[in-house]
């Protein structure tokens, strides 16, 4: 009986931890946010998310994009976004044009 109780307690602890991680997802609006900082946060979150939740990470991050970033993201293949290993990379690759634009502006100055 103790085994089933400790298993259910562990399960509720896992759910609480995952809920805490979901609440930490950053939004991205290229007019106000730095793509490098967003990329670092996303890669960190991908590293700490439980394996069972990684397939939902990129789609949720995509839904948190705003402005012209949303215009870019909404055209992505949803099946690639839900890949637990490559979905985040697929999303970040699509958003990388803002990083390149930012670097070009810095170089021009």
| pLDDT one-digit tens code per residue, 32-90 | 999 999 999 999 999 999 999 999 999 999 999 999 899 889 999 999 999 999 999 99
CB proximity list for 97: less than 8 A, separation 6 or greater: 72
User: How far is residue 56's CA from residue 21's CA, in Å, rounded to a whole number?
Assistant: 12
Radius of gyration of the chain (CA): 17
> Position of tokens 């870019």?
72
The confidence band for 18, taking pLDDT boundaries of 50, 70 and 90, is low
Backbone angles phi, psi at 65, to 5 degrees: -80, 145
Q: Is the pLDDT confidence value at 17 over 50?
A: yes
Q: Is the pLDDT confidence value at 101 over 50?
A: yes
The answer to whether 86 and 80 have CB atoms below 8 angstroms apart is: yes
**Under DSSP, is residue 87 helix (H, G, I), strand (E, B) or coil?**
helix
Kindly report the pTM of this predicted structure.
Answer: 0.74
Tell which wins on pLDDT, 37 or 18.
Answer: 37
């Amino acid at each position: 009986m103790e085994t089933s109780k400790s298993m259910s307690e562990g399960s509720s602890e896992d759910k609480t931890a995952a809920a805490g991680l979901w609440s930490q997802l950053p939004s991205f609006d290229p007019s106000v946010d730095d793509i490098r900082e967003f990329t670092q946060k996303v890669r960190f979150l991908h590293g700490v998310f439980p394996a069972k939740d990684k397939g939902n990470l990129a789609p949720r991050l995509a839904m948190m994009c705003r402005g012209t970033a949303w215009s870019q993201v909404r055209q992505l293949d949803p099946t690639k976004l839900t890949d637990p290993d490559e979905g985040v990379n697929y999303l970040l690759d699509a958003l990388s044009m803002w990083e390149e634009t930012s670097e070009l502006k810095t170089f021009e100055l």
